Structures are given as C-alpha cells and as structure tokens.
Amino acid sequence: MSAEDVPGVASPDVGVSAEAAGRLAGTVPEPGVRKPDPLLVLDRVTRSFGGLTAVRVDHLEVQRGTITALIGPNGAGKTTLFNIVSGFDRADSGRWSFAGHPLTGRPAHRVARQGLVRTFQLTRVLARLTVRENLMLAADGQHGERLLPAVMRPLWRGQERETGRRADELIERFRLQGVRDDFAGTLSGGQRKLLEMARALMARPIMVLLDEPMAGVNPVLTQSLLRHMAELRDEGLTVCFVEHDMDVVMGVSDWVAVMADGRLVAEGPPHTIGQNPAVVDAYLGKRHDEPGTAGDPGPTGSGDARAIGDEE
Amino acid sequence: MDFEVIVSDALRSGIGPIAAVYALAAMGLNLHFGYTGLLNFGQVGFMLVGAYGLAVTVVTYGGAMWLGVLGGLACAVVLALLLGVPTLRLRADYLAITTIAAGETLRLFYRSSWAEPVTGGVYGLQRFANDFYDLNPIPRGSYGVWLVSFDARDLWVLTVGWGLVAVVGALLALLVHSPWGRVVRAVRDDETAARSLGKNVYAYKMQSLVLGGVIGAVAGMLQAIQVQSVSPDTFDPAVTFFLYTLLVLGGAGRILGPVVGSILFWFLLTFLDSALRQAIEAGYVSSELISTSEVGAVRFALVGLTLILLIVFRPQGLLGNRKEMMLSER
C-alpha cells in the first residue's frame, strides 16, 4: 500500500512515488524501527549543551532511495542531529554508520567525501565565487585541487572541462542560467536555496541532508524545491530533510521521523503521523484530558497540506 | 625647486630593489589575506627568518650561499607550521593575534644577547652575499634611461628582484586560477560551506600559509642581499603594516595588486619626501612649520592620509572590483 492511496495527503504534482513508498511497505510505524535497506543508521546518539540534552536518539535508520522528513517543533534537536551526523558537531556518545562504513566522529569533509552531503538552514553560498564556480568547487576528486598539480594545467584541463559541463547541466536544471556568471553573493534568497541544492548534487552524493530547504521561501519556490527533491529521489538519491512545518512534509516525504526534546518520538508514513498522539503532544503540548484531540491533526495537520495542493 | 630631481628620486625608488622586495612580500601576504582570508599580521617574521636563515648559514656556519637560501626557505616553512598548527583550526582572529606577536617575538629573540653568537645580536650579520654579486653578468658602469640610472650592482639586484616578482606572480596566477585556487577562495568566503563540500579546509589554509610565508622569506632574503647586511630592527612590525597598505592600495585578491601597490607606494613616499625637502629648502614651506628632520614623519602622515582617502573613495584598491569587494561584507 502506498501513501498515494490516502486521499488528500499528497499534493498530486510533487507526488509520493509508489516505488519509494513500496520500499518501506510493511515497516511498522514506530520510533526506531528497522528498515529493509537502511543507508544511514544511528545508535544511541546523545549530545548535551551544559545541562540541556539536545539529542538523545536511541536508534534511527534512514531507508535508501526514499525521502525521509525529520520534523519536530523548534528546539527538538533536528539540526543538532544533522550537525552531528555531518561532522559539524561532536556527539557525547553513540555510533552511526553510512552505507556500511562507520561515520562516528568523522570530520565534516570526510563525511562529505563518503557521499553524505548537507546543506544549511541559513544558506552558505560562496559570495565572491560565481554561481558556476560555486558548483564546480563542489565536484569530487578534482586533480587540480592538489597544490603541485594545480600549477600544471594540462594535468587537469580535461577534468575541469567535464566539471564545467556538469555544472552547466545543473545550472540549467535548477534554472540558474540567468545568473550563471554572477557572484553568488548577489543572488536572492530563493536563488541561493536553489544554488545550495544544486551544489550539493555536484558532489555526486549518495544521500543529501537538507536543513530546512523551504525556510523563508515563497510558496511557488517551495513547490519547485519539493519537485526537485522528488526527482532526485526518483533518480535513486536518498534525501533526508529537516522541517518544522508539517504541511510541507506531507506532500513529498515517503517516511517521517518526529523528534521532540531531543528524542525520536514517532516514525511512520506521512499520513499516519498527523494522527499519532505523540506527535500531537510534541506540537501542541501534552493535554490528554480529551481523548478526541489525539485524533485531530489540528491546524498543522493534513488539512493544510490539502490547501497547498489546491494552489497548483 | 627642482622637479627633475623629485621625479628622478621617486622613480628610482618606485622601480628600485626595495619596491621589488615589498612587492614580493606583499604577494605572499596577498595569498594569505587576499585569496585565503588568513589575517597574517606577522609577514615581517617570515622575512626575518628568511634573511637570517641565509645570513646565519653563510656568516656563522660558513656554508655556501645556495645552502643559506635553502636554509632561509626551510625556516619559513617551519615558522608557518609552528604558527598554523595551533591556530588554523581556530577563528581567523587568533591567527592575527598569534602572527603579530610571533613577528615581534622573533625580532626580540634574534637581537637578544643570548642569541648573539649566532645572530650577531643588535649588530646583525654582514657580507654574506658575495656569491650573488660574483654572479653579476652586467659590466661595471652606470645604466639609465631618462631621469633614472642605476649602477651595475643595483641593476643586478633589480633584475633578479623583479625577475622573482614575475616568476612568483606567474606561479600565483596559475595557482589561483586552478581548482586549488577555487578551493582557497571558497575557504576565504565561507569555511563551513567548503568543509560541507568535502574540502579539507585546514590543509588548504596550511598550504597557503606555508607558501605565502616562503614568498615572504624570499623577499626578506632579497632585502638582506641588497644591503649585504641583516639587522633585527629592520624587521619591525611597521613593515607588515606597510605591506598591508600597499596591498590595499593596489587591490587585494588581484595578482598584480601588490606589484602596482608597491611601485606606487614607494613612488609616492619618495616623491613626498623629496618634494617636501625641496619645498623647505626653497622656502615655500616655512621651516618653522616642518623642519627637514621631520620630513620623514610627515611623509608617512601624508601617505596615511592618502590611504584614508583611498579607503573612502576606492576601497577595492586600484585594481580591485568594487562589487566583489562589497560582497565580502557579510
């Protein structure tokens, strides 16, 4: 059974692919559940800042070839978890592995070279590099990046041409042709988001971690970004993204993991998440005096996801 | 007032050996500051260890001059590693603090009486570049065009100096326009982003620090060779600030920025010096206002004023791109 069978959850254009959802068919929607083919596996990862425990995840697996949304209210520890996995922060304890290789404590650049590439909540474009240079920089295994070969142009000229060709393809795909040779620092907020996503792809990742790719982005661009994500998934890439707005999540993700107070409180296909009492607690605060509230997804639930679909 | 003398003095200085020395040192600094974003405030320290590496090898230990040159380069590499290992993982300002302190510590160390048997202390070391002058192919005599002329000795230093500038400039141009240069510029713009794309930021910063430091050491050696003498107090912190001045003047993050900056800096400085002296002698400027002995200080004040005006009206320097420059102010 795929999430498309549930009326009004997925916006038709972005679409949850039956194939991707099929990979997770039969997976029990409970926190820490094992996946059939996990790409990223986290075990007992904790991180505290002073007295505050920001992350305390017992077990989390991300299924290969799917879009997994990591949601939760502000301060739930989503970004901290991303930072730990991508090597930008240290965990106090725990182990995690990626595509079968242990990743625990690896520095950020090594993580990226393994094929796990992230983006940032506040975009980080290289302001004084052109859009094309931003992309070309991200290419992996460039011979000309070593000091001695760098001065011997014939050694890397061919590879550089190929890198440029790939960059141009991505520029076209993300509709950045108009600003190709502009300094990235002159781009608008939305263009920066597109550039960052394109740049992550230039590194030929196996999996991308997108930290709030839709934050501060207008609805039209949000749809476009979502469509890009779905396309990438259909091309075989594994996507994991952080989002605290549930509406955005519903349409595109194959699986949703919910964090609150540093813990993983729920997991499941998107349509089940809105009804999950743990999620409602996390978003609206604990209040169990009325049994009915647990079933009502409330203002952040699937009702709004339908509204976004209607805009198309 | 004799304008010919003023222009002649200024031109001599602007294309003279000292301008080549400063251009070279600033090229190293440009790699640090202009391309990699490393705030090195101790470039003079690299010049010092380069010059002393040469002088100590030849004078104190009786080594050959080419060995001294290698010694000077090796000292610069060691200094860069010593500075870089603890600070390059930290925020940019820590490198600035460390380098400015290191430059001054080195000067005090080399002039100390404890180090005198090796470094010559406050007296420094002399006559270590005879091999260099023996290589001079230019016949004795004076050579000149228009208002400027140099003797064979100066012309030899000059040729080698600007030759080095050309070689280093070509090398740097190749480097910064390569994928290596792209990574380094990315590090300058946003270290975190570069790291997230699989670049080992620490290694690139270290390479840049070593390479720029070695170029600084070459400049230090050239300076020492030119006067056949090293003394610790020629390497005071002000040198680094002159280097920054001419780098900003020419345009940071441009290959020719330091070259244009250095020529112009020395031209202006000498022009002002010469013009002021002439004006005082001719009575255009009352000697009660500025006496001849104060000219040295006044010219620096005027250069400072020029720099302020430049920063206000052309912050990107002569060769820089204003649009690009403004983007760096995140």
Tens-place pLDDT, residues B257-308 = 999 999 999 999 999 999 988 888 888 888 788 888 888 888 888 888 888 8
Query: Does the distance separating the beta carbons of A125 and B198 come in below 8 Å?
Result: no
Residue A190 pLDDT exceeds 80: yes
Per-residue pLDDT of A121-157, as tens digits, reads: 889 999 999 999 999 999 999 999 999 999 999 999 9
What's the pLDDT at A286?
Answer: 63
Q: For residues A84-98, give the mean pLDDT.
A: 94
List of domains in chain B:
3-327 (1.10.3470)
Mean pLDDT rounded to a whole number for chain B:
92
Q: Residue A288: pLDDT band by 50, 70, 90 thresholds?
A: low
Q: What was the ipTM of the complex prediction?
A: 0.89
Residue A312 pLDDT exceeds 70: no
What's the pLDDT at B293?
Answer: 83
What's the pLDDT at A302?
Answer: 39
Q: Residue A287: pLDDT band by 50, 70, 90 thresholds?
A: low
Q: Tell which wins on pLDDT, A309 or B111.
A: B111
Chain B: closest CA distance from residue A196 (Å): 10
What's the pLDDT at A284?
Answer: 73
Q: Tell which wins on pLDDT, B71 or A51.
A: B71
Q: What percent of chain A has pLDDT over 70?
A: 85
For B:165-194, CB contacts with A below 8 A are: 171, 174-175, 178-183, 185-186, 188-190, 192-194
A145 CB near a chain B CB, below 8 Å? yes
Chain A: closest CA distance from residue B35 (Å): 11
Cα–Cα distance list, B121 to B3, B64, B111, B236 (Å): 42, 22, 4, 15
Q: What percent of chain B has pLDDT over 90?
A: 76
**From B200, which residue of chain A is nearest by alpha-carbon distance?**
A109
What's the pLDDT at A183?
Answer: 95
Domain A3-107+239-310's class? alpha beta
Domain limits, chain A: 3-107+239-310
Per-residue pLDDT of B245-255, as tens digits, reads: 999 999 999 99
